[in-house]
Amino acid sequence: MTEERRVTEERRVGRVTTKGRAEERMRSADEGLLQRQEDPGFVHTDPWRVLRIMGEFVDGFDVLARVGLAVTVFGSARVKPDSPYYAAAREVGAGIARRGFAVITGGGPGIMEAANRGANEAGGLSIGCNIELPHEQSPNPYANLSIDFRYFFVRKTMFVKYSEAFVVFPGGFGTMDELFEALTLIQTAKVKRFPVVLYGSQYWGGLLDWIRETLAIEGMVSDDDLALVQVVDTTDEVCAIATGGAPR
């Protein structure tokens, strides 16, 4: 790993920590931002919330801009360590790290933990962009660089801005959200095209069939749109596609 990409263990910037340092968790910052307030006193708090959001962007940009090439791995937080998907994500994290790329995840358990663990064990830079949630999400111990976010949209910006590819393992609503936001940004040319790799044809097959047989037939997506994703069943294919393209 080059010095340009190396982040020291002592570095702490705002909400950026190493080794998943525990912090007090807010109940839900997104809820406070998005929910209409009946109390007119909200005008005294929302401007300060804007500054907090700006601070999260500054912290994320400041640290991740120094990372260099990276691949983001998405997937369910509910996958257990004995799952074949966990083992595959761990292999992918290690394979990406051995190819000289950092691994970025959402910082939580399940698939995220597995990918961070693989990258860490391979001696690579393992980054967790953790989100504060009322339940389910807690930082995994395998990210050697951890950044805590209150707001989903700030965290999503970091994933897109600093990734050369997205690798998507089986997951639920959160994983689908990241997948379709990435596809929308590519489809609308808001970002340059980058690889979006789905692992597990059996898991994703039904969704892709519906897209082809309903969305495409109804004219809601084009043939070019269908080509924006690649589906594979081996970890070697995932690593090769995710790290083989030219940097954006």
Q: Return the beta strands (E) in 43-116 as ranges.
A: 70-74, 102-105
pLDDT of the residue at 134 = 73
Q: Which amino acid is at 172?
A: G
Q: What's the structural domain count of the chain? A: 1
pLDDT at res. 25: 40
The answer on pLDDT for 120 being more than 60 is: yes
Domain membership flag for residue 61: yes
Tell me: the pLDDT tens digits for 195-214?
999 999 999 999 999 999 99
Give the residue, 30 or 165, on which the prediction is more confident: 165
pLDDT at 14: 43
Output the pLDDT for position 21. Answer: 37
CA dist 233 to 21, 150, 175, Å?
A: 35, 34, 18
Answer with the residue of higher pLDDT: 21 or 101. 101
Query: Which of 197, 206, 159 lies closest to 178, judged by CA?
Result: 159
Q: Is 118 part of a structural domain of the chain?
A: yes
Is 144 a member of any domain?
A: yes
What pLDDT is attached to residue 240?
96
Please say if the pLDDT value at position 68 is more than 80: yes
pLDDT at 41: 58
In a domain, 198, yes or no: yes
Classify residue 204: in a domain, yes or no.
yes
Burial per residue of 215-229, b for 16 or more beta-carbon CB atoms within 10 angstroms, e otherwise: eeeeeebeeebeebb
Report the pLDDT averaged over residues 187-202.
Answer: 95
**pLDDT the model gives residue 138:** 77
Q: For position 157, which CATH number holds?
A: 3.40.50.450
Q: Average of pLDDT values for 39-58?
A: 78
Does pLDDT of 16 surpass 90? no
pLDDT for 39 beyond 80: no
Q: Containing domain of residue 81, as a range? A: 28-244
Confidence of residue 5 (pLDDT cuts 50, 70, 90): very low
Q: Report yes or no on whether pTM surpasses 0.95.
A: no
**pLDDT at site 1:** 46
Cβ neighbours around 116 below 10 Å, total: 34
pLDDT value, residue 237: 96
Question: Which segment of 10-14, 152-156, 212-216, 234-238 scores lowest on mean pLDDT?
Answer: 10-14
In-domain check, residue 4: no
Residue 95 has pLDDT above 70, yes or no: yes
Would you say residue 205 lies in a domain? yes
Q: Would you say residue 95 lies in a domain?
A: yes
Per-residue model confidence (pLDDT) at position 49: 84
Is the predicted pLDDT of residue 34 greater than 90, yes or no? no
* pLDDT at residue 132, rounded to an integer: 83
Instruction: Please calculate the CA angle 42-47-50 and round it to the nearest 5 degrees.
Output: 120
